[in-house]
Amino acid sequence: MALALVVLLGYLSGSLPFGLWLGLARGIDVRTVGSKNLGATNVYRTLGPSLGVLTLVLDILKGALPVWLLPGQLFTQSFPGGHEWCAVVAGLAAVAGHVFTIFAGFKGGKGVATTAGVLIALSPQAFGVFASVFLVTLLATRYVSLGSILGSLAFTVALGFWSPSGLRSPVFGVGALLALLVIVRHKDNIARLLRGEERRFAFTRGKS
């Protein structure tokens, strides 16, 4: 019962499609414009920086909050494996909810921001590595996709160092799984990068 509740609550938290809802409040369905993605990058490009940043913050929180809140005394005592497993399952469920949201026909974002939220809660050090690699790559190349991919690989390596049991830790295991998910979700971006057709990020709306 505890496992089912943690999966359900984590999934529902991750499923909240803030980018879609913020766009609809402006009369725009982000699934029909730009990259047609529900994530913060598409919202930033199509609806402007303020809503893009707000989407980013909310998508991060919906990954972090289940990991912070669900492994409380009630769930930890009855959850298989205890506190650490409860936290990683909550985080994995939240990212799955973002990628396959029930509120938008199971078609969500690419999972980067929600994964970042999970990392903040599970391993602030690994999140710092991810954020550093992502920002350096973005500033150097202006490719959000490349920053996300390289950042995901970097946080996986970092988790191997900082996880409680190293490579045997469930935190490292779920981190590696999330990194793989992020990379798979970027398969189209990888193809465009290889062809030299990937769109560069513009820090001001309307430029590329």
CA distances from 59 to 13, 70, 81, 141, 207 (A): 10, 17, 27, 24, 24
Residue 66: the pLDDT is 94
How far apart are alpha carbons 96 and 104 in whole angstroms?
13
What is this structure's pTM?
0.88
How far apart are alpha carbons 20 and 206 in whole angstroms?
20
Tell me, rounded to whole angstroms, the distance of Cα 99 from its chain centroid.
8
Q: Which of 19-28, 74-83, 105-114, 156-165 has the lowest mean pLDDT?
A: 74-83
Residue 9: CB partners within 8 Å, gap ≥ 6? 66, 70, 90, 93
Tell me, rounded to whole angstroms, the distance of Cα 137 from its chain centroid.
17
Provide, rounded to the nearest whole percent, the portion of the chain with pLDDT above 90. 71
DSSP symbols for 55-87: HHHHHHHHHHHHHHHSSSHHHHHHSTT-HHHHH
CA distances from 125 to 34, 86, 119, 134 (A): 33, 20, 9, 14
Q: Which residues of 122-132 are buried (b: 16+ CB within 10 A; e: fewer)?
A: bbeebbebbbe
Residue 118: the pLDDT is 95
Amino acid at 207: K
pLDDT tens digits, 180-205: 999 999 999 999 999 999 999 887 65
How far apart are alpha carbons 159 and 148 in whole angstroms?
16
